[in-house]
Amino acid sequence: MESALSFRDIFKKSFLESGQVLQAVNLETLMQAAGYIILSLVVGLILYGLYHKTYAGVVYSRTFAMSLVGMTVLTCAIILTIQSNMVLSLGMVGALSIVRFRTAIKDPMDLLYLFWAVASGISVGAGMFTLTLFVLFVMALTLLIMKRRHGPRDEMYILLVHYSGQGMEEKIRRALGTCPYKIKSKTLRKRDVEMAVEVRVKRGRTGFVDALRFTEGIDDVTLVQYSGDYID
């Protein structure tokens, strides 16, 4: 009756098998690994396009979008490596333990795409192609529908108005017309009033600024674009 294998025996066996694996690498194995890498590259490029299509911030980071492609491919390569034997997996864990992601994530959607890239690389490396493509289709369809619902041409602005006199708020409301807006703040001074209004307008349709600029009683008007969410 064979005795139970200890961890040392398992580690030694895995170490010996690692040499056999390296010797047994053939063209078929390389072609299979190349297929995995190519599929992960395709998925990463799709994520790159989706991020560019659905981005709703002010400053678009091209480097972050490109990192999604690399993250997907490298994660797939890591999974393919650690599947071979225990020695390589332990070495990979030790090497990756010193890597830290120190870049501040300002947009929650960036965090979503980052985890999506990692998860796609893991699933492709594990050979779960159907799951990868299904999740990719569902997530892409959901994000595009949500993007279309909020209006791809809607832009958020903060309108700062300094005015003096009575009845000016009604004039500002008439100038905004049908644009959805929300008063964010109102500062009363001795000589004038400062009001900040959040406005959602169609792209390029900022003609109300000229209307306000020539309105009697308004000292100055400032329109600032920003990344925000307007809740109906």
pLDDT, tens digit (0-9, with 9 covering 90-100), for 12-62: 555 445 554 444 456 777 788 888 999 999 999 999 999 988 887 666 778
CA-to-CA distance for 216 and 196, rounded, in angstroms? 19
Average pLDDT over residues 192-209: 80
Per the structure block, which two tokens stand in for 176?
Answer: 């905004």
CA-to-CA distance for 179 and 208, rounded, in angstroms? 10
Segment among 97-106, 126-135, 198-207, 210-219 with least mean pLDDT = 97-106
User: Domain ends where: 128, 149, 170?
Assistant: 149
Residue 230: inside a domain, yes or no? no
Going by their DSSP bridges, the two strands 181-188 and 154-163 should be labelled as unpaired
Alpha-carbon torsion 165, 170, 171, 172, what sign? positive
Encode pLDDT of 128-156 as tens digits. 889 999 999 999 999 888 877 765 456 77
Task: Tell me the pTM.
Answer: 0.58
Q: Which pLDDT score is estimated for 204?
A: 66
Residue 2: inside a domain, yes or no? no
Please give the tally of structural domains in the chain: 2
User: Domain ends where: 119, 149, 179?
Assistant: 149
Residue 75: inside a domain, yes or no? yes
